[in-house]
């Protein structure tokens, strides 16, 4: 028996929705200067008159031993900086040097995005691919589209059924097989039409949705097996 509450459902992006912001693992030793390490470095020297500290205190910053300490500490500034950069490579949101390794792990470049891409575009697509690991609900697909720079809403239509639906209600008139489709409405998307004198026969399509076609390609790959996503532009 049909559920009388089974009507057309439209899911929209919540107000204030935005791409997730990843905080970088920063601390005082992420990118230090020699002077930042000088005080703890001076504290490691022995105390005593022969070391220029008859009062038992650490050497002053204007002494010869302080200058020697600066020379010894210089390589550690590079070492700490590299350690911090390695930490950043452990997160897809801050990865850079290990981009190729990340892409190999996540099956990138994505066949839905043919052609060459800049490094910044590759990094953005990697972050979106990592975030798409669990895409199940309409809200998940909306969040995934947002990670690729698209603002969308999703409609799940219900087809009109005699003896069940109401005239003037939310059910659409059509074949029951239409319920396997779910409609993706993309905001501010241009349609590119074939132009005589500009387009090339057998090469350029009659019309194209541009980058939105890449989003549709991704949705088709991730959508439940009994459903088919289609795009409707506004």
Residue-level pLDDT at 52 = 75
Provide mean pLDDT across the span 160-173.
Answer: 68
Model pLDDT for residues 183-230, shown as the tens digit of each residue: 888 887 666 555 666 666 656 555 566 678 888 889 998 888 888 898
Q: Is the pLDDT of residue 28 over 90?
A: no
Structural domain boundaries in the chain: 34-88, 94-131, 133-234
Q: Quick one: tokens of 178?
A: 């239409």
Residue-level pLDDT at 34 = 93
Model pLDDT for residues 45-104, shown as the tens digit of each residue: 888 877 777 777 778 888 888 999 999 999 999 999 999 888 889 888 888 899 999 999
In this structure, how many other beta carbons lie within 10 angstroms of the beta carbon of residue 123? 19
**227: CB partners within 8 A, 6+ apart:** 180, 181, 182
């Amino acid at each position: 028996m049909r559920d009388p509450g089974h009507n057309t459902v439209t899911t929209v992006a919540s107000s204030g929705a935005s791409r997730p912001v990843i905080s970088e693992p920063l601390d005082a030793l992420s990118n230090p200067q020699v002077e930042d390490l000088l005080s703890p470095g001076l504290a490691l020297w022995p105390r005593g008159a022969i070391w220029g500290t008859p009062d038992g205190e650490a050497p002053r910053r204007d002494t010869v031993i302080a200058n020697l300490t600066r020379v010894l500490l210089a390589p550690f500034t590079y070492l700490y900086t590299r350690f911090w950069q390695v930490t950043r490579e452990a997160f897809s949101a801050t990865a850079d040097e290990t981009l190729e390794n990340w892409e190999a792990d996540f099956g990138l470049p994505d066949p839905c995005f043919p052609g060459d891409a800049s490094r910044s575009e590759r990094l953005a697509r990697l972050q979106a691919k990592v975030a798409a690991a669990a895409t199940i609900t309409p809200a998940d697909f909306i969040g995934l589209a947002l990670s690729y720079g698209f603002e969308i809403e999703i409609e799940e239509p219900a087809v009109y059924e005699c003896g069940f639906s109401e005239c003037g209600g939310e059910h659409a008139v059509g074949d029951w097989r239409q319920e396997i489709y779910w409609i993706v409405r993309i905001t501010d998307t241009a349609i590119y039409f074939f132009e005589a004198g500009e387009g090339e026969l057998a090469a350029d399509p009659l019309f194209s949705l541009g980058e939105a076609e890449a989003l549709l390609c991704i949705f088709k790959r991730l959508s439940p097996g009994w459903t088919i996503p289609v795009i409707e532009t506004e």
